[in-house]
Structure 1
Amino acid sequence: MKNNHYEIRFGGSGGQGMMLLGDIFAKAAGELAEREVVLTRSYGPEARGGACRSELISDTEPINYPSVRKPNFVLAMSQLACDKYCKDMDPNGILLIEPKFVHRVPAHIKNVYSIPMTQLAIDETGKKVAANVVAIGAIAALSGFVDVELVRKAVQEHFKPALRKANDKAFDAGVRAAREEMEQLDQQESKSA
Structure 2
Amino acid sequence: MGKQHYEMRFAGSGGQGMMLMGDIMAQAAGGLDTKEIVLTRSYGPEARGGACRSELIIDDEPINYPSVRRPDFVLAMSQQAADTYWKDMKPEGIFLIDPKFVHTVPENVKHVYAIPLTQIAEDVTGKTLAANVVAIGAIAALTGVEDLDVVKRAVREHFKPKLRPSNDKAFEAGVAAAKTLMK
TM over 0.5: yes
Contact 1:32 1:150 in 2 (8 A): yes
1:40-95 Cα deviation digits (max 9, x unpaired): 00125142312210000000000000000010000001101111111111121000
- CA separation of 1:3/1:173 partners in 2, compared to 1, >3 Å: closer, same or farther? farther
> How far off its partner does 1:2 sit?
8.0
- Is the helix fraction higher in 1 or 2? 1
For structure 1, list consecutive stretches of 5 or more residues without a partner in the other structure.
184-193
Confirm whether residue 108 of structure 1 aligns to residue 108 of structure 2: yes
Is the counterpart of residue 137 in structure 1 residue 155 in structure 2? no
> What secondary structure is seen at the aligned counterpart in 2 of 1:141?
helix
2:16 alignment partner in structure 1: 16
Cα contact 1:78–1:101 (8 A) shared by 2: yes
Match in the other structure for 2:168: 168
Question: What is the identity, as a one-letter code, of the residue corresponding to 2:33?
Answer: A
User: How far off is 1:165 after superposition?
Assistant: 0.0
What is residue 7 of structure 2 aligned with on the other side?
7
How far apart in 2 are the matches of 1:25 and 1:139? 9
Distance (Å, rounded) in 2 between the aligned partners of 1:44 and 1:100:
21
* AA in 1 matched with 2:118: T
Secondary structure of the 1:48 match is: coil
CA distance in 1, matches of 2:3, 2:78: 28
1:35 aligns with 2:35: yes
Q: Report if aligned partners of 1:21, 1:132 keep a CA contact under 8 Å in 2.
A: yes
Question: For residues 124-164 of structure 1, what are the alpha-carbon distances to aligned partners after superposition, in whole Å with 9 as ceiling and x for unaligned?
Answer: 00000000000000000000011111000000000000000
**Long gaps (5+) in structure 2:** none
What one-letter code is carried by the residue in structure 2 that aligns with 1:140? Answer: A
Q: Is contact 1:13-1:46 (8 Å) kept?
A: no
User: CA–CA distance in 2 between the matches of 1:51 and 1:44?
Assistant: 5
Whether 1:73 and 2:73 are equivalent positions in the alignment is yes
Contact 2:43–2:50, Cα closer than 8 Å, also in 1: no
AA matched with 1:16: Q
Amino acid at match of 1:29: A
1:2–1:171 CA distance, 2 compared to 1 (3 A)? farther
Q: Which moved more, 1:157-166 or 1:47-56?
A: 47-56
Q: Distance in 2 between matches of 1:133 and 1:154?
A: 11
Per the normalisation by structure 2, the TM-score is 0.97
Q: What SS class does the counterpart of residue 43 from structure 2 fall into?
A: coil
Deviation at 1:33, TM superposition (A): 1.2
Please list, as runs of the form range in 1=range in 2, the aligned pairs for 1:40-119 lying within 5 A after superposition: 40-119=40-119
Cα distance in 2, alignment partners of residues 2 and 27 from structure 1 = 22
Q: Which amino acid aligns with 2:83?
A: D
Greater CA deviation, 104-113 or 163-172? 104-113
TM-score, normalised by the number of residues in structure 1: 0.92
CA-based RMSD of the aligned residues comes to 1.1
What code does the residue aligned with 1:112 have? V
